[in-house]
Amino acid sequence: MSMKEKEINYSNPKEIAKYIISQTPIGLLNSSLNCLKVLLKEEVLKTPEVLQEIKNYKENHYMPITIENVKSKVIISALNKDSDDYYYDQGQKIRFKLNLKCEVENLEEFESKNETRRKIEKKLIEYINKYYNKKTTTYNVYYDSIVDKIFVLICGQNINENNFWSGEWLSSWELNLDDKKVTGEIKINTIYYEDGNIQFNFKKNYEIKIKGNDEESVADDLIRFIEKNENEIQKKMDEDNEDFSEKYIRPLRKRVSLIGKDMNWSLDQIQFNLNQKQ
């Protein structure tokens, strides 16, 4: 049962901290932690349970991290981590662990010789260069030899604290090399928080069997499937944005009466008006 689904013990500072961390929108984690330091004792944030929740948060949002002497940022998630808690970036030929403070440990070279993984990554890079902002996008193509599956992750994050908004596009795909079955998920989360708190959260799952019979055609079919579904989501969002304010924002505003004036919600005034009508 997730933190969202179970009842929170509000008398337990650790539970409060874990819940707030899990619900924090992308780009606001440091702000949330600073607020928690004021609301709760700072020692609470240093406990293993809360540190693990912070690590889980970063995994759930496919957070990219910078590693010294490694060319590009590396995604951390449960989908590119093995049973020994090693994270992999096979494109950069490394694997590593993270301690509870999310510090890199045991960094070492690691090379995957799976040809399908290599071809998928090559075509994924071409796809990302075509559609994504390279400055704010990270990706990972991970081959898990234990289950003979390939995992494709795309993370696009835009954070603009000066203008009080942030957003993320998380796209994850799993290819079973045994039966060529593909399952995927696209998640979009955005927040605008200058005056209040307006959030948009989207999630959709996908499933298909691709027909490729060699490494090249499997890679082609997978990236084509990703492109088709991501473009459909983008097109639908563009259409919704044309009348977004009218459909979603306007209904949130306080309504005025039919005569176009604010209602006097004083109980005494309402009773007086009713008596007048009688």
Residue 163 sits in a domain of what CATH number?
A: 3.90.1150.210
Q: What is the pLDDT of residue 166?
A: 96
Residue 3 lies in a domain: no
Can you tell me the mean pLDDT for 21-47?
A: 94
Q: What is the pLDDT of residue 232?
A: 97
Range of the domain at 29: 13-109
- The better pLDDT of the pair 134, 271 is held by 134
Confidence of residue 275 (pLDDT cuts 50, 70, 90): low
Q: Are 29 and 147 contained in the same domain?
A: no
Can you tell me the mean pLDDT for 252-273?
A: 57
Output the CA angle 146-152-153, nearest 5 degrees: 120
Question: Residue 266 pLDDT more than 90?
Answer: no
Residue 166 lies in a domain: yes
Q: Are 84 and 123 contained in the same domain?
A: no
Domain total in the chain: 2
Question: Residue 42 pLDDT more than 70?
Answer: yes
Of the candidates 86, 109, 132, which is a domain's last residue?
109
**Radius of gyration of the CA atoms of the chain, in A:** 24
Question: Residue 31 pLDDT more than 90?
Answer: yes
Q: What is the pLDDT of residue 73?
A: 96
Name the average pLDDT for the chain.
Answer: 89
Q: Are 77 and 183 contained in the same domain?
A: no
pTM of the model: 0.84
Cα–Cα dist 168/58, whole Å:
13
Cα–Cα dist 39/17, whole Å:
10
β-pairing, 149-160 with 137-144?
antiparallel
Q: Are 125 and 222 contained in the same domain?
A: yes
Which CATH number characterizes residue 44's domain? Answer: 3.30.1140.60
Q: Are 157 and 133 in contact (CB under 8 A)?
A: no
Confidence of residue 195 (pLDDT cuts 50, 70, 90): confident
Residue 258 lies in a domain: no
Q: Are 131 and 86 contained in the same domain?
A: no
β-pairing, 94-98 with 104-109?
antiparallel
Residue 271 lies in a domain: no
Cα–Cα dist 64/157, whole Å:
10
Q: Are 119 and 245 contained in the same domain?
A: yes
Confidence of residue 238 (pLDDT cuts 50, 70, 90): confident
How distant is the alpha carbon of residue 211 from its chain centre?
Answer: 30
Residue 84 lies in a domain: yes
Q: Are 204 and 88 contained in the same domain?
A: no
Residue 181 lies in a domain: yes
Q: What is the pLDDT of residue 8?
A: 61
Confidence of residue 133 (pLDDT cuts 50, 70, 90): very high
Q: Are 215 and 142 contained in the same domain?
A: yes
Residue 225 lies in a domain: yes
Residue 89 lies in a domain: yes
Of the candidates 109, 139, 174, which is a domain's last residue?
109
Of the candidates 56, 86, 109, which is a domain's last residue?
109
